[in-house]
Structure 1
Amino acid sequence: MSAQNYLVISALGKDRPGIVDELSKAILDIGCNIADSRMTVLGGEFAILLMVEGNWSSLARMEEAMPALERQLDLTIIVKRTEGRDRSTPSLPYVVDVVSLDHPGIVHQLANFFSTRRINIEDMATTSYAAAHTGTIMFSVHMTVGIPADIHIASLREDFMEFCDAINLDAIIEPAQR
């Protein structure tokens, strides 16, 4: 594709087989390409985020097609033009995994720990589940963070582990394997 133009598409609707097939076919038929995506089912709802790339006119056609696509696929769709990711500030990708007894505020506490250190959360997934044998409700967080290159990793790791110990979270932080 000649120029890199991007459109972020967010879609939400009742889960059913075939949604990804139908949505990806519509994107392809208009002449766009899915550059990045995340999809999940939350309760009975299907949710997807897509970054679609294409030339200016194909993205304009995609924007124009959204109302009809919403009706056809029975989805709520939001679209927004965007740019490619700014990679001018060097950062190191690290993976953070946390498990604990479920209680309110875990995501906020983790987000606050990283944001106060200028560390961007780039990807995150959380889930609640019943522990084997006991049935105790557990909460797990998996995230990828971008650690600025000027942060001392060993000190950050030590601070993070102390933080997690203080609020009773079992955690690891390690370089992302790409």
Structure 2
Amino acid sequence: MTTPNSFLVISALGKDRPGIVNALSKKILDDGCNIADSRMTVLGGEFAILLLVEGQWNTLAKLENALPELEQELDLTIITKRTEERTPSSNLLPYAVDVVAMDHPGIVNHLAEFFSQRSINIEDMMTSSYAAPHTGTPMFAVHMNVGIPSDLHIAGLRDEFMDYCDGLNLDAVLEPVKG
């Protein structure tokens, strides 16, 4: 009988440079663990990493004990937290939300408020700023995945969301996540 794996979330932040992912992933592998899920990006001049690492409880403990030295060696700020495997919810429908607008403060907060008031969980979100082609107008884009409770009327929610976004001058799409 095999023991179920344990899970550890690792968050690391440091000055962007080549080799960070290599060093972290090598340490995780060398300590007998595996990266189950990850998000990595450059924000400003900083490299941000979120990792879900899985392994036996003792291999995760070994990794946790080795991270302070790696933190110093790589000049990173590393935070860890034990977690459990996510239990999929059968009553949530996965939907994608895409919003584009002229950049102005409060877009993320308005979207978060809309979904929060309806008990809709934002499961993943990415934002970016860019200059519009030809005009150079500052633009802001949001992509998120949300879990919509299956008892909500989707067509009504979509209409309500589109009206809400129109009132804020946001171009938006709400559609099922495709395979």
- Same fold by TM (over 0.5)? yes
1:48 alignment partner in structure 2: 49
**How far does the alpha carbon of each residue in 1:45-67 deviate from its partner, in whole angstroms, 9 at most, with x for none?**
00000000001101111111110
**How far does the alpha carbon of each residue in 1:120-177 deviate from its partner, in whole angstroms, 9 at most, with x for none?**
0000000111111111100000000011111111111110000000110000011111
> Is 1:149 paired with 2:175?
no
Matches within 5 A, 1:1-178: 2-88=3-89, 90-178=91-179
Long gaps (5+) in structure 1: none
Q: Percent identity?
A: 69
Which has the larger displacement, 88-97 or 144-153?
88-97
> Secondary structure of the equivalent of 1:151?
coil
**How far does the alpha carbon of each residue in 1:99-126 deviate from its partner, in whole angstroms, 9 at most, with x for none?**
0010000000000000100100000000
2: CA distance, partners of 1:99 / 1:144: 15
2: CA distance, partners of 1:19 / 1:150: 44
Shift of 1:4: 2.3
Shift of 1:72: 1.4
2: CA distance, partners of 1:100 / 1:51: 32
2: CA distance, partners of 1:149 / 1:4: 31
Amino acid at match of 1:134: T
CA RMSD in angstroms comes to 1.0
Number of equivalences: 178
1: CA distance, partners of 2:81 / 2:35: 14
| TM-score of the superposed pair, with normalisation by structure 2 | 0.97
Kindly indicate whether the alpha-carbon contact (under 8 Å) linking 1:70 and 1:77 is maintained by their aligned counterparts in 2: yes
1: CA distance, partners of 2:130 / 2:33: 38
Long gaps (5+) in structure 2: none
Kindly indicate whether the alpha-carbon contact (under 8 Å) linking 1:161 and 1:171 is maintained by their aligned counterparts in 2: yes
1: CA distance, partners of 2:178 / 2:52: 22
2: CA distance, partners of 1:88 / 1:155: 22
Kindly indicate whether the alpha-carbon contact (under 8 Å) linking 1:89 and 1:148 is maintained by their aligned counterparts in 2: no
2: CA distance, partners of 1:35 / 1:101: 36
2: CA distance, partners of 1:111 / 1:89: 23
1: CA distance, partners of 2:112 / 2:177: 18
2: CA distance, partners of 1:73 / 1:48: 13
Shift of 1:2: 3.1
